[in-house]
Structure 1
């Protein structure tokens, strides 16, 4: 029964991802106040990157992994994110970037990932990256091997938990000495905000529009 329900979810999500996406409408719901006040756009120095949002079945649930970035001298230190990173010259596409980075950061076997589609690209002003979220599935729960230079902790979140509206909050968050007013998802003790929360917002809007 698990395989059938997961297969049905994956098939329906793939079909929905091929249709027009909510994009900015969904992103705005979880954007920080400072982002909404500014209109920064990609420029000639903007770099391309990609993240992998990968679902898999486990004990009657559908899970997706997030990672906690370690503390370092960078704009995204200590933040929750999806596995991913910058596009390399050897990457033939941003899908390849997402898969390669997921393998390097948490040990996901990319040959087992089936790509379902993509969400809307999202510009991240603090790091000047244009990020492509790639959505995929695995037929099993993977063994994670986090790269300690990139990942402090892997957090597995169920789809049911993600879709619980009570996890949404908003308050002032201190980031490198700056206070930012931002909405967030409270997931297993971690606040997920910023670009990752905006991606989750679009993902959930897409999932909620899948025909039941």
Structure 2
């Protein structure tokens, strides 16, 4: 994994793929049009953590299954992360703090190597920074029972497998029907904002 991390860290210093990579996994409404939201307020800032680690000869990263709740991301698969808080010195610290709160990852064991493009999650009006990091050993995940139903350990091999990119109709928590690409990871449907951010990550990895 050290070779992967070294090459990835170097690549993250160059211009990022951005929107074209995101749009490969963009959900659309029937007829092919993109979903549009009208947000009059300034977006909240936030961050998520893509945490790479080696386990049994393969590279993995954690996803979380969100619980059912009254919100647009109810029950979805996501990367650990959340909103920027005033005590955070920057968005990297936001990602590390949230990963600790949600899945028990010790920030002192995490080495940050860079970040992807900021991503606008229009459904919840958040501007999210994906932070790329790694840890020397597999974390001992401790999911927060309030925020996380399950920690899902997804392999990088699965994420990079083109046969894992599929499409289906998805009904959102508010009853909207969308035609959406998704990643089939561990038998789970990873779609929407998480899939779009991971699509940029996949694009970078395939350039290495």
Q: TM-score, normalised by structure 1?
A: 0.93
Question: Which of residues 117, 121, 129 in structure 1 aligns to 2:118?
Answer: 121
Instruction: Work out the CA distance in 2 between the residues paired with 1:41 and 1:165.
Output: 33
Give CA-to-partner distance per residue, 1:176-200, whole Å, 9 cap, x none. Answer: 2221111101111210000000011
Question: Which of residues 94, 97, 109 in structure 1 aligns to 2:94?
Answer: 97
In structure 1, the residue matched to 2:143 is 146
Give structure 1 stretches of 5+ with no counterpart. 1-5
Question: Which of residues 64, 67, 84 in structure 1 aligns to 2:64?
Answer: 67
In structure 2, the residue matched to 1:204 is 202
Q: Contact 1:114–1:137 at 8 Å: present in 2 too?
A: yes
Give CA-to-partner distance per residue, 1:79-108, whole Å, 9 cap, x none. Answer: 000000000011110000000000000000
Q: Contact 1:52–1:134 at 8 Å: present in 2 too?
A: yes
Q: Contact 2:112–2:134 at 8 Å: present in 1 too?
A: yes
Question: Which of residues 132, 151, 157 in structure 2 aligns to 1:135?
Answer: 132
Give structure 2 stretches of 5+ with no counterpart. none
Give CA-to-partner distance per residue, 1:82-136, whole Å, 9 cap, x none. Answer: 0000000111100000000000000001111000100001101110000000000
Deviation at 1:40, TM superposition (A): 5.3
Q: Contact 1:41–1:123 at 8 Å: present in 2 too?
A: no
Deviation at 1:163, TM superposition (A): 0.7
Instruction: Work out the CA distance in 2 between the residues paired with 1:77 and 1:192.
Output: 13
- Give aligned pairs, total: 205
Cα RMSD (Å) of the superposition? 1.5
Question: Which of residues 170, 178, 181 in structure 2 aligns to 1:183?
Answer: 181
